[in-house]
């Protein structure tokens, strides 16, 4: 494992910690898209089907369990917790799941490495992860001011994508037969979605202003 | 399994 991959995993973990911090300490999920969180839960559930059958490393198994556990508990908090759910911005979080889920599933049926249930679902999870942030970005755009924790949450998620991209470039040059066109394709789309957000994030940071995305 | 991608990432 290289340093870029590790940094990517840690920023991914940081994004989840920031989100849980918001939910646990402020008891608020304002500005967080439940649609995106549900899509992430679906992403992890379909990607980590091999968690108990294929052993890679203790690190790998533990991280998978953390991502699965946290993503489903975040969804639970936003839907069921007696105070957290009241802060959910339901009226602005209107993006439809199936607009993303259906095309990703159809694409995974056609573009995959092998036509098996596990391989198709794994490919589906990559395609879905690439676009799962869209409802969150839409919600950010509709929010007048984005609070710090929400802004940092999306920032860490974007940083995770950036580091994974560098990791693939690194692996491409250091490992033989490292051909991963599905990962590359989905990863580039996913990282590109953050470019706009990063521009406004750094601009607000530089000018010491509250983050606000233009509608 | 030549075309199968390595699944060591998260």
Per-residue pLDDT of chain A (215 residues; tens, 9 = 90+): 899 999 999 999 999 999 999 999 999 999 999 999 999 999 999 999 999 899 999 999 999 999 999 999 999 999 999 999 999 999 999 999 999 999 999 999 999 999 999 999 999 999 999 999 999 999 999 988 889 999 999 999 999 999 999 999 999 899 876 668 899 999 999 999 999 899 999 999 899 988 888 87
Task: Check if the interface score ipTM surpasses 0.90.
Answer: no
Looking at residue B1, what is its pLDDT?
40
Nearest residue to A93 via CA among A155, A135, A41, A121: A135
- Would the CB atoms of A122 and B7 count as touching at under 8 Å? yes
Does residue A50 belong to the interface with chain B, where contact is any CB pair within 8 Å?
Answer: yes
- Residues in chain A closer than 8 A to B4 (CB atoms): 113-114, 119
Looking at residue A92, what is its pLDDT?
95
- Would the CB atoms of A67 and B9 count as touching at under 8 Å? no
- Per the DSSP assignment, residues forming a β-bridge with A211 are A146
Residue A55 resides in a domain? yes
Chain A with chain B: Cβ pairs closer than 8 A? 30
- Would the CB atoms of A122 and B10 count as touching at under 8 Å? no
Whether A145 contacts A210, CB under 8 Å:
yes
CA distance B4 to chain A (A): 6
The domain tally of chain A equals: 1
Looking at residue B4, what is its pLDDT?
60
Domain containing A93 equals 3-207
Tokens for A168? 């693939």
Residue B2 pLDDT class (50, 70, 90 cuts): very low
CA distance A133 to A135: 6
- Would the CB atoms of B3 and A113 count as touching at under 8 Å? yes
- Residues in chain B closer than 8 A to A119 (CB atoms): 4
Contacts of A71 (CB under 8 A, 6+ apart): A16, A37, A40, A41, A43, A44
Residue A129: Cβ-neighbour burial (10 angstroms; 0-12, 13-18, 19+): buried
Residue A215 resides in a domain? no
Write down the H helix ranges in A50-147: 58-80, 97-110, 117-131, 134-142
- Residues in chain B closer than 8 A to A56 (CB atoms): 7-8
């Amino acid at each position: 494992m290289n340093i870029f991959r590790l940094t990517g995993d840690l920023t991914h973990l940081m994004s989840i910690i920031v989100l849980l911090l918001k939910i646990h300490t402020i008891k608020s999920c304002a500005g967080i898209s439940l649609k995106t969180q549900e899509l992430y839960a679906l992403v992890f559930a379909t990607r980590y089907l091999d968690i108990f059958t294929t052993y890679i490393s203790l690190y790998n198994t533990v991280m998978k369990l953390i991502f699965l556990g946290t993503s489903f508990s975040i969804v639970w908090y936003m839907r069921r917790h007696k105070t957290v759910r009241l802060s959910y911005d339901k009226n602005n979080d209107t993006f439809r799941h199936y607009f993303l889920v259906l095309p990703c599933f159809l694409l995974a049926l056609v573009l995959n490495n092998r036509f098996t249930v596990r391989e198709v679902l794994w490919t589906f999870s990559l395609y879905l992860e690439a676009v799962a942030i869209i409802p969150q970005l839409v919600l950010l755009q509709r929010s007048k001011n984005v609070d710090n924790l929400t802004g940092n949450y999306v920032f860490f998620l974007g940083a995770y994508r950036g580091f994974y991209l560098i990791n693939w470039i690194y692996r491409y040059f250091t490992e033989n037969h490292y051909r991963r066109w599905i990962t590359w394709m989905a990863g580039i789309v996913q990282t590109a979605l953050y470019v706009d957000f990063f521009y406004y994030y750094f601009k607000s940071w530089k000018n010491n202003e509250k983050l606000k995305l233009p509608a | 399994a030549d075309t199968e991608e390595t699944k060591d990432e998260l």
